[in-house]
A = this chain, B = another copy of it.
Amino acid sequence: MTDHELDVDTASRATAPGTREGEVTDRWNTPNGTPNGGYLLALALRGLAEEVDAPHPLVAAMTYLRPARPGPVTLEQSVLRAGRRVSTARSTTLQDGQAVTHLVASFGDRDADVGPDVELGSPPDLPPPAECRDPGLAALAGPNGPMTIADRADYRLASPPGWAQGTPTGDPTQEYWVRLSDGRPVDRLALAFLVDAWPPAVADLGHLAAVTVQLTVHLHREPTTAWVACRVTTRHVVGGYHEEDMEIWDEAGRLCAQSRQLALMV
């Protein structure tokens, strides 16, 4: 790995069989003052990737058990099956002996697997990044301290979100470009971060805050371009619980990742 921010801040080292030690930094904080969920996913997923003998994460399913905070973490990992084609392992991230997240991820070799491509979706309909605007997310920082995650990624939108102007549109869908601010290429690890690195889509329903209960991401391709195009949407809210679906496409118009989370408006 490199000295790029995402690589430095997701590093962990094996200290015993099935145990790794790492550090959640304060560089990925949301307006809640707590570390971003996509960052916590990337940290745990990278730890598992070092245990599993397969090059690519295929799917990662994370449950958020308690709010994390900047500081040391212990990863307790175990392999559930090392298969010929697919290997699966699980990991619990602990702080002060308490489980904060739980991850199950399956790995394989997408370059060795052969099968058809069929694309019935379409990438976000956005002008090129250079013609889009920076939405200025850093200004969202609230009383809980700086929104440091706004310094980790650059966002570009065709027009400012309704909720950011105090006029939620009623349509909880947002399309935008994003890249990592320090120039790190967006690989599968970065995709795992980026699927949960935008304010909740339900902000355009007038609900600025939601907590993630569970998030599953399918990781399909490594983007070939610096910017990736995201589409995030919520279609169903039931008693405050709702899905949030994210697609990430590269500039060549290829789907790279697809995620869904169950979140709860708070």
Contacts and interface: CB of A to CB of B under 8 A. Distances in A.
Interface of A: 58-59, 61, 63, 65-66, 80-81, 83, 86, 88, 90, 92, 99, 102, 104, 106, 110, 113-121, 171-172, 205, 207, 213-214, 216, 218, 220-221, 234-243, 255, 258, 260, 262, 264-265
Contacts of A265: 115-116
A117 B214 contact: no
The complex is assembled from copies of this chain, and their number is: 2
B115 A102 contact: no
A207 B118 CA distance: 12
B239 A114 contact: yes
A118 B205 contact: yes
A143 to B, nearest CB: 23
Contacts of A258: 236, 243
A158 B219 CA distance: 35
Given A113-B239, A236-B119, A240-B116, A104 B216 contact: no
Contact of A241 (B66, B113, B205): B113
